[in-house]
Amino acid sequence: MNRRLTLALPSKGRLREPSWSLLEATGVAPQEPGERVLQTFCRNADIDLLFVRADDVPEYVQDGIVDCGITGLDLVSERDFDVDVLLRLGYGTCSLQAAVSTEDAAQSFTDLDGRRIATSHPRIAAQWLAEQGLTAEIVRVTGSVEISPRLGLADAIIDLVSTGSTLRTNGLRSLGTLFESEAVLVGRRGSGDHEAQRTLTMLLASVINARATRYLLCNIAKERLNEVTALLPTTGSPTVMDLATPGIVAVHALVPAAQIWSLLPQLQACGASSILTLPVERMMP
């Protein structure tokens, strides 16, 4: 089906800026909205944009007010919305963790049995407690979950953690993780025939793949080529080209960005020279 797509983006908070820059990186050219403007469009694609709170995105998608949207996986799971997760976006990563005061004797999840737990994710918490065979009273709070133990509102908390610094600042200690979250693209159930949505999903995936990849170039003496190719953590075949200087070849390969750090010294030790790494804009396997 070829019709305009409406995409909901987070209007504020942690997910706003990275969602906007990911969309810009796809090349659809989102038109910068004016101040307090909640709707805009893309100059290079048949996509309209609507800015809503990340919390509201799953409901807007489920109810058909928009075709798809970007939100946190935790927000989709917490209220069990009837939407399809089309793509994990690799930012907004955090985990839902159970934590107690550093002075509390609890050492593991089982020590939470029979206690009071404050959380703004009561559904995920209740499901997890049931899976663990634990009984606990859930105290639903909407913000500042981490001060609940100090206020005497609860013995423990279940809250989103990214670096752990908020837990530490509030004198809390994690007992472990019960749910991993990140930003996701969600679409209406069964909306797979929407052509613009399929194209957008593919473009977003190509940028996410590219961000995790570097284009590596280096020169190596022909007789050491096998040593270099054996080192390359690439799934596809590297490109090997003769240079003007006899006996030397250039090797080009796509490698995971996370492995550049350990790979470069090994390449150098192998005799590789003129080693370059370049960012990749888009990558479609």
Give the binding site for ligand AMP (CB under 6 A): 13-15, 54, 72, 74-75, 92, 94, 160-162, 181
Burial level of 182, CB count in 10 A (0-12/13-18/19+)? middle
Please name the amino acid found at residue 182: E
Query: What's phi and psi for 11, nearest 5 deg?
Result: -80, -20
Rounded to a whole number of angstroms, the minimum distance from the CB of residue 194 to ligand AMP is 25
Q: Minimum Å distance from CB 156 to ligand AMP?
A: 17
Nearer to ligand AMP, 161 or 208 (CB): 161
* Residue bearing tokens 């798809």: 68
Q: Would you say 86 or 161 has its CB closer to ligand AMP?
A: 161
C-beta of 279: minimal distance to ligand AMP in Å?
25
Q: Which is nearer to ligand AMP, 160 or 253 (CB)?
A: 160
Q: Which is nearer to ligand AMP, 9 or 156 (CB)?
A: 9
User: Of 144 and 274, which CB lies nearer to ligand AMP in the complex structure?
Assistant: 144
Residue closer to ligand AMP, measured from CB, 28 or 57: 57
Task: Tell me how far, at minimum, the Cβ of 73 lies from ligand AMP, in Å.
Answer: 7
Q: How far is the CB of 4 from ligand AMP (least distance, A)?
A: 27
Q: At its nearest, how many Å lie between ligand AMP and the CB of residue 240?
A: 43
